[in-house]
Amino acid sequence: MFTSLVDNQPVLDQWFNPQKTPVVGEKPDYRFSLANERTFLAWIRTALALLAGGLACAQFLPPLPIAHLREGIAIALLLLGGVVALRAVDHWARTERAMRLGADLPKSRFPAILALVVAFGALLLVAAVVIKAVG
């Protein structure tokens, strides 16, 4: 994720100036850049939703039978939100760069991994609720 040091452009510089270096090929159609920007914003909303979920867990769930489980769930969601936001800006910068260079758009396993993590967490909670209801 942080190793895209193609042509010696540091990752942080790529984040702040994705259009700067090197300018090969054509400047992309602005509509493609704006579509990339909207994808970034959709990921930021995903991150913000995870943050809101984490804060809501901490504030509205009653204390759970296992000590600090409520805080653990909340912090897991908050960290996941932070990672999603960081990855959103990295992916946006790499896509912007690929469009300028006329290269293939960057591929990513991140959406699949995020989906699996969220599904696994949901199944874990379903299991906990069922065990509590039966036992």
Partner 1 sequence: MTADPGASAERTRLAWRRTGLSAAAVALLAARPAFSPAAGPGTYLVAAGALAGWAALVALAYRRARGLRLQPPRPGQRTITAYAGITVAFAILATVLVTL
Q: Could you list the residues that contact partner 1 (CB under 8 A)? A: 15-19, 30-31, 33-35, 37-38, 40-42, 44-45, 47-49, 51-52, 54-56, 58-59, 71, 74-75, 78-79, 81-82, 85-86, 88-89, 92-93, 96
Are 22 and 7 contacting, i.e. CB atoms less than 8 angstroms apart? yes
* Residue-by-residue DSSP string for 12-62: HHHHH-TTTS---SPPPPHHHHHHHHHHHHHHHHHHHHHHHHHHHHHHHSP
Choose between 48 and 126: whose C-beta lies nearer to partner 1: 48
- Closest distance between partner 1 and the C-beta of residue 130, in Å? 26
- Closest distance between partner 1 and the C-beta of residue 47, in Å? 5
Choose between 44 and 64: whose C-beta lies nearer to partner 1: 44
Burial of 50 (0-12, 13-18, 19+ CB in 10 A): buried
Choose between 93 and 98: whose C-beta lies nearer to partner 1: 93
Q: Is 106 left (phi over 0), alpha (psi -120 to 50) or beta?
A: beta
- Closest distance between partner 1 and the C-beta of residue 134, in Å? 30
Angle at 114 between CA 46 and CA 123, to 5 degrees: 105
Choose between 41 and 130: whose C-beta lies nearer to partner 1: 41
Choose between 105 and 123: whose C-beta lies nearer to partner 1: 105
For residue 47, report the phi and psi dihedrals to the nearest 5 degrees. -60, -45
- Closest distance between partner 1 and the C-beta of residue 129, in Å? 22
